[in-house]
Structure 1
Amino acid sequence: MKYSMTEHGFETATQFGTLTVSAKDEYGFRPYQLLVSSVAVCSGGVLRKVLQKMRMPAEDIQIEVKEVRRNPEVADRVESIHLHFTVKGQDIDESKMSRAMELTAKNCSMVQSVKDSIDIRETYEVIR
């Protein structure tokens, strides 16, 4: 990827269009939003695969970022992220969900990349 400076941030061309990143909401995605999105969506994708392998396919997975805690005294560093997964599926066995969540965290490359610097909290609910 190659990023080019713009008046209010940076842009890069992707196969899906232009990605604009800026420190200001009105001009593009903020860097911390992309970081949080990467952790959330990676986790969701891994959870989907884990559930399939456990023979509990999800009909739908919604991910809500409940909280992002940042430290204004250390460059607004992201210190914690709370992700809440709502998993819908007729074959989801709630007694196996904690194991599915453990495997998700273990196998998500984004969670593993930040695990020693950002506290990731994952909660879930199952809807049939």
Structure 2
Amino acid sequence: MKATVVWEPSENGLSFEGEMDNGRKLKLDGNGNGLSPMESVLISVGACSSVDVVEIMRKSRQKMQGCYCELEAERAESAPRKFTKIHAHFVVQGKDINEKHLARAVQLSTEKYCSVMLMLTGNVSITTSFAVQDK
């Protein structure tokens, strides 16, 4: 996997475009005009772990109609302003969702499969919770 990040010059601009070796692109901004790099990391935590939860729940033959992950993070007060805590709350929507299956899916994602969470382990306190919404 390879990527290139290019600064897009402008007055006081801190906009960058990242491009993967497969041509996919992502714009990031340090001035608040788009997602910041730290915001993209937080969203990546939720997306990566949600992929795992959805796949595991499907393999468990749970009839999900929706899944979302609410994230809350705290950052250090001074530079480097890294994440100190992240909490991920998963909500799975559907009929007759087995909470034991969901608990296991969240646990497996957090401890075994989510590469983004696992990269942060040891540096960031990560906690999780979950809920089922009948639909």
Q: TM-score, normalised by structure 1?
A: 0.87
Separation of aligned partners in 1, 2:131 and 2:91? 5
1:82 maps to 2:82: no
Separation of aligned partners in 1, 2:48 and 2:65? 18
Separation of aligned partners in 2, 1:33 and 1:80? 14
Any gaps of 5 or more consecutive residues in structure 2?
none
Partner of 1:19: 26
Separation of aligned partners in 2, 1:11 and 1:108? 25
Separation of aligned partners in 1, 2:65 and 2:80? 40
Separation of aligned partners in 1, 2:59 and 2:24? 33
1:33-112 pair list within 5 angstroms? 33-65=39-71, 67-105=72-110, 106-112=112-118
Percent identity reads 25
Any gaps of 5 or more consecutive residues in structure 1?
none
Amino acid at match of 1:91: D
Q: TM-score, normalised by structure 2?
A: 0.82
Aligned length: 126
Separation of aligned partners in 1, 2:58 and 2:23? 27
Contact 1:48 1:57 in 2 (8 A): no
